[in-house]
Structure 1
Amino acid sequence: MYKKMGGESWVWNINLTSCLFSFPFFLIWSVINTMSWMQGTTQALPWGTIVLLMTLWVLVGYPLTVIGGIFGKNYANGFDAPCRTKNISREIPDVPWYRSAGVHCLVAGFLPFSAISVELYYIFATLWGREQYTLYGILFLVYVILLSVTACISVALTYFQLSAEDYRWWWRSIFSAGSTGMFVFMYSLFYYFKRSNMSGLLQTVQFFGYTILVCYVFFLMLGTVSFFAALKFVRYIYVNIKMD
């Protein structure tokens, strides 16, 4: 996709792809594991296991990412624009506050979050409490609903943005749907202080460390779904436009 969109710094893109999740994960996990060492708990992984995991990433994970990036660079087709475009960018008019990027992020983040808010309690209670979660069929259904709502709201907000003569939809589509992770983090604050009995430095670091990782995964996942949904929508509405 990067090559198809006209990107030229493919080496930088491969390195960014390989570190986009692994580096934040390793950074937060290192803090949690260090705190576990300091507290003397059995949850802390020994040095040998850490070196083994890093070796697996260096010898397996990163090379596979590089190979996939090279294949994508060599076999990617050129970007097929649905209609002719002008070389000079047109001026973008001012928009009212309810069409701003911040409002779009709030709307696009809250609606997918509302679709999973009920299940979030049971998931948190299972991971950090003593309850057992057995409704995996409903969990899968909620996951499908989450992706569907994200795609639909991305298409709707992209349409509103284009109707306001703002053609810069790509990054806004990613950050708008990705803001769902912010709402998940806000819910985690409510759960920690109002619903859980956790206390102490180690439990706090573990809870918020892993929660930040989950919110980051939500951002990457829903941002990707939103981008491709918006791209499909833009191509669909412009494919039949005739330029004079």
Structure 2
Amino acid sequence: MTAMVLLWVFMGLFAGYSSARLYKMFKGTEWKRNTLKTAFMFPGILFAVFFVLNALIWGEKSSGAVPFGTMFALVCLWFGISVPLVFIGSYLGFKKPVGEDPVKTNKIPRQIPEQACLCDLDNHLCAEITIVLCYFQLCSEDYNWWWRAYLTAGSSALYLFFYSIFYFFTKLEITKLVSGILYFGYMLIASYAFFVLTGTIGFYACFWFVRKIYSSVKID
């Protein structure tokens, strides 16, 4: 656990760098807002949920509660090391020029035709499925592929959370309210982390795919 915490703290440098590079590649200009979201959005949500769950354990006077000193130490590591490293990485990422796009794009966006709903497809996590759906989207002349790619892959986290609900009512014998809240709280944290992870995988898979196919297009 100590190794995981330290890894998360010092990976702030790479998080800020990669998010800044990607944001700049998509013609983003508000690098400070992007850096703040990188530094606070994911860990902030996790910390808030964990703090509420830990407060419930404190209320039960359980020995399994994380001491206040440990929580304070985590906050110090977060604000004292991780956040500054994110800003340093973001500064270095924005300072470095981005690579050229494989093809030139129109400055005036084209009108996107009405799209067919793909909501009835299964939520199996796989980079290949995300790429296939991205290909269908591009064939339908919808060039706004990035968020759909992220959500397509990340939606597998819903399956994980729904299965935890099924497992709770069919396999577990938890009767106390606090124990049930703790179970679903920790599963919510796990599902959220899984959503961010799988969504990132799906996005980068489609990002590589889009650049690959358009770099093969020959324009006279």
Whether TM exceeds 0.5 here: the answer is: yes
For the 8 Å contact 1:181–1:219, the answer to whether it is kept is yes
Q: Letter of the 1:171 partner, please give it.
A: W
Q: How does 1:134-173 map to 2 (within 5 A)?
A: 150-173=126-149
Deviation at 1:95, TM superposition (A): 2.9
Moved over 6 A (4+): none
Q: Distance in 1 between matches of 2:182 and 2:101?
A: 47
Task: Output one character per residue of 1:69-100: Cα deviation in whole Å (capped at 9) or x when no partner.
Answer: 1121112x324211121122112112333x4x
Task: Output one character per residue of 1:120-167: Cα deviation in whole Å (capped at 9) or x when no partner.
Answer: xxxxxxxxxxxxxxxxxxxxxxxxxxxxxx211111111011111111
2:75 maps to what in 1?
Answer: 54
2:14 maps to what in 1?
Answer: none
Q: Distance in 1 between matches of 2:88 and 2:182?
A: 35
SS class of match (1:111): coil
Residue of structure 2 aligned with 1:23, choices 44, 47, 70: 44
Q: After alignment, is 37-46 or 174-183 more displaced?
A: 37-46
The answer to whether the aligner puts 1:111 opposite 2:87 as a matched pair is: no
The answer to whether the aligner puts 1:44 opposite 2:61 as a matched pair is: no
C-alpha spacing 1:186/1:160, structure 2 compared with 1 (3 Å): same
SS class of match (2:217): coil
| TM value normalised by structure 2 | 0.85
Q: Distance in 1 between matches of 2:169 and 2:204?
A: 37
The answer to whether the aligner puts 1:178 opposite 2:154 as a matched pair is: yes
Q: How does 1:194-213 map to 2 (within 5 A)?
A: 194-213=170-189
Structure 1 gap segments, 5+ residues each: 113-149
1:78 maps to what in 2?
Answer: 98
The answer to whether the aligner puts 1:217 opposite 2:215 as a matched pair is: no
Task: Output one character per residue of 1:197-228: Cα deviation in whole Å (capped at 9) or x when no partner.
Answer: 22212211111111011111111111111111
Q: Percent identity?
A: 36
2:10 maps to what in 1?
Answer: none
Q: Letter of the 1:27 partner, please give it.
A: A
For the 8 Å contact 1:84–1:243, the answer to whether it is kept is no
1:8 maps to what in 2?
Answer: 29
Residue of structure 2 aligned with 1:87, choices 103, 107, 129: 107
For the 8 Å contact 1:5–1:79, the answer to whether it is kept is no
Q: Distance in 1 between matches of 2:116 and 2:93?
A: 41
Structure 2 gap segments, 5+ residues each: 1-21
SS class of match (1:21): helix
Q: Letter of the 1:63 partner, please give it.
A: P
For the 8 Å contact 1:174–1:223, the answer to whether it is kept is yes
